[in-house]
Structure 1
Amino acid sequence: MRFRELKKNKKPAQIKESKKFVYAPYNYRVKAFITDMFMIYAPILYIITYVFMDGKDNFQSSQMAPFIGVALYGVIYAFLLSKFAQTPGKKAYEIKVLNSTNGENITFIKALFRFVAFLFTATTVLGLFLPFYRKDKKALHDLICGTIVVAVKS
């Protein structure tokens, strides 16, 4: 505030506050993904293999079992992102997935679409290297879905 405005008892002009996000480091995102694979996906595969099928030989010969495992993992992943904006791995590394336009939690459908876009991004591999060249650290699936991965303020 300028002295002249203080002298005349004028209030300073209202300043719009925009939400500033602290982007999550890419190595935290990778570590969170690996943690989620061990905490969510590995138990799903174990249950499918040894509870619903007769063992690893039947699992390996089946084409439907891995698909069901990935689909179930995608639904659980999307539910956790839409409800809490975090998975167990993201919570461990204190990061959240938010809508880039308003900073709120994403919907279940958007989270599920983000998972499918991640599968596409992971198969092309180029989309996973995109965060190294962007200031906002967005991968290809984040750009497609309009999401952002931010560090949680402690």
Structure 2
Amino acid sequence: MSQPYILVVNGKPEGPFSMDELRAQNIKPTDFVKTGDMHDYKEAQEIAELRELFGFAKPALLMQYFGSFDQRLVASVLDWFIVFGSFVIIIFIVVILIIQDKETRMIASFALLGCVPVANFIYHIVMECSLKQGTLGKQMIKIKVVDMYGERITPGKSITRNFAKILSVMTFFIGYLLAFFNKQQQCLHDMLAGTLVIKERLF
């Protein structure tokens, strides 16, 4: 059974109201409500139960929760280090210890290193649409990739986002710098894919 809600009316808390009583109050999506278990008031549209009952749309995320450019940069550096380091270990185990011919060893080493960008690309696609919603670097910085409503992105969105990074690079990295000029701190590839990078503490 749903808990009763306290409703802020003309700046003052009133209630608690049952669901039927709330319906009679003709509450709006932006009206503030809370239950006894909630620490603070929320807009009615932020609560799934009330969205379902009154047909409110889920609101977009608030700007204070977006991951900053420097957080994303640090996460990216960490991810490159993780992927590159993994390949160095593979080269040492597979190439150095197994292959005896020096020339073959060198060719195999460079071939594997050439796979690093592709592996990094696939790694981002898989991790960003996973349950973790972010690469290991992002997890360490406590940021994640979501859609415009804070939900986990689909594999299709993840693929689009990471392919769109090519455009962010081809614009002489201006696509990345766009994050400084919009409230949601979206890079070009985020805008094209309809994604956001947010701080984990939102949840």
User: TM-score band, normalised by the shorter chain?
Assistant: 0.7 to 0.9
| Greater CA drift, 11-20 or 91-100 | 11-20
TM-aligned CA distance change 1:120 to 1:41, over 3 Å: farther
Determine the C-alpha separation between the residues in 2 that align with 1:45 and 1:116: 25
More strand by share: 2
RMSD (CA atoms) = 2.8
CA distance in 1, matches of 2:89, 2:169: 23
TM-score, normalised relative to structure 2? 0.61
Instruction: Report which of the two structures shows the higher radius of gyration computed on alpha carbons.
Output: 2
Residue in structure 2 matching 1:116, options 137, 158, 163: 163
- Contact 1:74-1:112 within 8 A present in 2 as well: no
Instruction: Report the alpha carbon displacement of residue 59 of structure 1 after superposing the two structures with TM.
Output: 4.5
In the alignment, what sits opposite 2:105? 54
Secondary structure in structure 2 of the residue aligned to 1:31: helix
Which one of 46, 50, 61 corresponds to residue 20 of structure 1?
61
Preserved CA contact (<8 Å) 2:123 2:135 = no
- Partner in structure 1 of residue 36 of structure 2: none
Deviation at 1:140, TM superposition (A): 0.5
Which range moves more in the overlay, 40-49 or 123-132?
40-49
- The counterpart of 1:132, out of the listed 177, 180, 190, is 180
The alpha-carbon distance between structure 1 residues 96 and 71, as it changes in their structure 2 partners (threshold 3 A), is same
SS in 1 for 2:144: strand
Measure the CA separation in 2 of the matches of 1:120 and 1:49: 34
Alignment of 1:78 onto 2:119? no
Q: Which runs of 5+ in 1 are unaligned?
A: none
Structure-1-length-normalised TM-score: 0.77
Matched, 1:104 2:151: yes
Task: Structure 2: state its 5+ residue gaps.
Answer: 1-8, 30-44, 46-58, 96-103
CA spacing shift, 1:13–1:43, aligned 2, 3 Å: same
* 1:43 and 2:86 aligned: yes
Deviation (angstroms), 1:46: 5.1
Using the aligned pairs only, state the percent identity. Answer: 21
Q: Per the alignment, in what secondary structure is the counterpart of residue 196 of structure 2?
A: strand
Of residues 113-122 and 84-93 in structure 1, the stretch that sits farther from structure 2 once superposed is 113-122
- Counterpart of 1:134, as a letter, is N
Report the structure, 1 or 2, having the larger helix content: 1
Partner deviation per Cα, 1:114-134 (whole Å, 9 max, x = no partner): 112113312321111111111
> Which deviates more, 139-148 or 102-111?
102-111
> 1:14 corresponds to which letter in structure 2?
I
What is the letter of the counterpart of residue 195 of structure 2? T
* Cα distance change on mapping 1:152 and 1:49 into 2, 3 Å: same
Match of 2:143 in 1: 95
Q: In structure 1, how many angstroms separate the alpha carbons of the residues matched to 2:136 and 2:76? A: 9
